Structure 1
Amino acid sequence: MEKLIREFIDKAIKFIEVLICIAILISVLLSVPNLLRYGIDIVSSSNVRSNYELLNEFLKHALLLVVGIELLEMIITKSHESVLTLILFVIARKMLVYSVGLVDILIGSISIGLIFAIIKFVINDDKLMATIDNTFSAAMTVEKIKKEFALDIPQDMSNTLGGLVYEIAKLEDVKEIKEKTKLIYGKYMYKVVSIEDNVIQRVRIEELKN
Structure 2
Amino acid sequence: MMNPDHSQIVERLLQILERVENADGLLLPICQLIPLNIFGICNALTWVKDCTTVWAYRLPAKTARLAPFCFKETAKMKGFADDIEKLTEENDNFREVLYTGKSIQLVLMALKPGEEIGEEVHDDRDQFFRFETGSGEVWIDDVANQVKADDGVIVPAGAKHNVINTGSEPLRLYTIYGPPEHVEGTVHKTKAEADASHEHFDGRTTE
Q: TM-score per shorter chain, which class?
A: under 0.3
Give the TM-score normalised by the residue count of structure 2. Answer: 0.21
Give the TM-score normalised by the residue count of structure 1. Answer: 0.21
Higher relative contact order (CA 8 A, sep 6+): 2
- Computing the radius of gyration over CA atoms, which structure comes out larger, 1 or 2? 2
Structure richer in helix, relative to its length = 1
